[in-house]
Amino acid sequence: MQFGWTAGEEASFEVLDAFVDWGGTLIDTADVYSAWADDNDGGVAEEIIGRWLSARGNRDDLVIATKVRVQMGPWPTQGRETRHQREGLSRRWILKACEDSLRRLRVDHIDLYQAHTFDPYTPLEETLAAFTSLVQRGLVRYLGCSNFSAWRLMQSLWTSDVRGLEKFVSIQPDYSLASPTRANFERELAQVCQHYGVGVLPYSPLGGGLLTGKYRRGAALPDSARAAEIKPRMTEQNLDLIDELIAIANGRGATPGQVALAWLLVQPFVTAPIIGANSPDQLRELLPAASLTLSADEVDRLAKVSSWPKARTELDGHENR
């Protein structure tokens, strides 16, 4: 989502080159990225990736994932929700959005096509039937979702089962050591994913930068938009968490960000955290987390300063009753 926003095309190409040169295979984007940037109605990140794929010529070596649902452009017929027309995950919008993404990405198929958020205005049967038709036509290989609650994911899996439709094989939740919805995810959605074999691709695995070690207790915050977003989250608990990440990182010759990512990789339901980088240097700092295995003691130390012990106690108590 950084491409076309904090990273221009040249910088984006450098990030993508570095990623695949260091062994990366999954590139995740969305049609709406980066519609929030100036003079951008969305689709720019896909276009940049498409031009890079054409230049690199390595499409078959990669898993390309993108998403559909969020408003593209200013018009109701472009996915915007209005009183009269809501087409976020309607058949019409899904089919059109897929064709547009294929064109922008310059590929003949999408490996993982994901519902960006749940659409309460379109019957699930219509949404899943439209997705299934794309799979049957060879335009999409697998289906995923993002930002679905546990019961909405279960509803989707049940609908696919009873209607004989393609199923969601993955989900993207907001999940990290500092995620405000972490306890709910671990208590409910993670259990559904483990039981039904749904892959988990956490986004914002570093808490929007909170867990990188850049923001520390007693240190002045930089004058930036990101720092302004981080400031309300500098709670005593999160500051304790950052201190523990730093302590573990110092003992391992690692960085706090690497430790935070390594913690995610320890979780049995996590498939692959999604990191967003706008420079090769950021990738170089984060990718070593893939080979960093935390000890049981280190995992326990992080548990003690975050929300997991409370969530585990509540869950165990419910099961015991």
**What's the whole-number mean pLDDT along residues 174-198?**
94
Q: Which residues lie closer than 8 Å to 270 by C-beta, 6 or more apart? A: 175, 200, 202, 264
**pLDDT above 90 coverage of the chain, percent:** 74
Residue 223 confidence (pLDDT) above 80: no
Q: What is the pLDDT of residue 248?
A: 98
Q: Is position 196 annotated as part of the catalytic site? A: no
At residue 140, the 3 state secondary structure works out as: strand
Q: How far apart are CA 51 and CA 53, in angstroms?
A: 5
Catalytic residue among 33, 142, 175, 215: 33
**What's the whole-number mean pLDDT along residues 68-84?**
61
Residue 108 confidence (pLDDT) above 70: yes
CB 33 within 8 A of CB 116: no
Residue 319 confidence (pLDDT) above 50: no
Domains in the chain: ranges and CATH? 9-172 (3.20.20.100)
Beta strands at 168-172 and 26-28: parallel, antiparallel or unpaired: unpaired
Name the β-bridge partners of 279. none
**pTM (predicted TM-score):** 0.90
Q: What is the pLDDT of residue 216?
A: 86
Q: Which residues lie closer than 8 Å to 283 by C-beta, 6 or more apart? A: 15, 18, 19, 22, 275, 277
CB 210 within 8 A of CB 237: no
Q: What band does 197 get if pLDDT is binned at 50, 70 and 90?
A: very high
DSSP-derived secondary structure for 48-98: HHHHHHHHH--GGGSEEEEEE-S--SSSGGGT---SS---TTSHHHHHHHH
Q: What is the pLDDT of residue 73?
A: 67
CB 112 within 8 A of CB 104: no
Q: How far apart are CA 234 and CA 239, in angstroms?
A: 6
Q: Select from 118, 140, 137 the least CA-distant residue to 127.
A: 118
Q: What is the token pair recorded at 38? A: 């100036």
Strand residues in the chain grouped as ranges (E)? 26-28, 63-68, 110-115, 140-146, 168-172, 199-200
Q: How far apart are CA 187 and CA 214, in angstroms?
A: 30
Name the β-bridge partners of 68. 115
Residue 195 identity (one-letter amino acid): H
Q: What band does 78 get if pLDDT is binned at 50, 70 and 90?
A: low
Residue 206 confidence (pLDDT) above 50: yes
